[in-house]
């Protein structure tokens, strides 16, 4: 750990090693997994939270409106598994849509491939957003 950081910000140094800091980090990360942007909101990063929530929401909405297919928890082959993991990374947006029967997909639609990419990227982006929450919560990033 950097000595300059210790002198400048003793509060963060105490939080990083404490159990309450670990619980806060875990809580913010789980919240971010469930609802995109919520982890940032809990950390007080309101603009980032709004941008991530709106961006990922729009990507899921466009993917479903353009006739994309939501892959269910199928573990038959590696590609189905990876597609499921990528889409499920969007958190509750994925589960609500999948359990509600949305995302049946129409392979004959011209927009089908693009729609699927929107769905994959939304989930993968949310995974990166959670990594950002983790770094901010630990004090590695502002």
Beta bridge partners of 69: 104
The tens place of each residue's pLDDT in the chain, 142 residues long, gives 444 544 444 344 445 556 678 899 999 999 999 999 999 999 999 999 999 999 999 999 999 999 999 999 888 899 999 999 999 999 999 999 999 999 899 999 999 999 999 999 999 999 999 999 999 999 998 8
Residue 34 lies inside a defined structural domain of this protein: yes
Q: What does the alpha-carbon distance between residue 22 and residue 62 come to, in Å, rounded to a whole number?
A: 36
In the prediction, which pLDDT does 13 show?
41
Residue 3 lies inside a defined structural domain of this protein: no
Confirm if 50 and 58 have CB atoms less than 8 A apart: no
Checking 128-133 for CB contacts under 8 A at 24+ apart, the result is: 129/32, 129/36, 129/37, 129/39, 129/40, 129/52, 129/56, 130/29, 130/32, 130/33, 130/39, 132/40, 132/48, 133/28, 133/29, 133/32, 133/39, 133/40, 133/43
Q: What does the alpha-carbon distance between residue 114 and residue 27 come to, in Å, rounded to a whole number?
A: 34
Residue 5 lies inside a defined structural domain of this protein: no
Residue 60 lies inside a defined structural domain of this protein: yes
pTM assigned to the model: 0.83
Quote the domain boundaries for residue 82: 11-138
Residue 1 lies inside a defined structural domain of this protein: no
Residue 6 lies inside a defined structural domain of this protein: no
- Supply the Cα-derived Rg of the chain in whole angstroms: 18
Residue 104 lies inside a defined structural domain of this protein: yes
């Amino acid at each position: 750990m950097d000595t300059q950081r210790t002198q400048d910000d003793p509060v963060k140094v105490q939080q990083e090693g404490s159990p309450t800091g670990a619980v806060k980090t875990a809580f913010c990360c789980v919240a971010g997994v469930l609802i995109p942007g919520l982890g940032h909101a809990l950390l007080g990063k309101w603009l980032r939270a709004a941008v991530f929530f709106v961006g990922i929401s729009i990507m899921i909405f466009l993917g479903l409106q353009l006739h994309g297919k939501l892959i269910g928890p199928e573990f038959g082959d590696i590609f189905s598994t990876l597609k499921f993991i990528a889409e499920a990374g969007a958190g509750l947006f994925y589960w609500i849509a999948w359990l509600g029967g949305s995302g049946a997909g129409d392979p004959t639609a011209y927009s089908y491939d693009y729609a699927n990419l929107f769905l994959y990227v939304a989930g993968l982006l949310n995974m990166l957003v959670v990594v950002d929450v983790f770094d901010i919560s630990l004090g590695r990033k502002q």
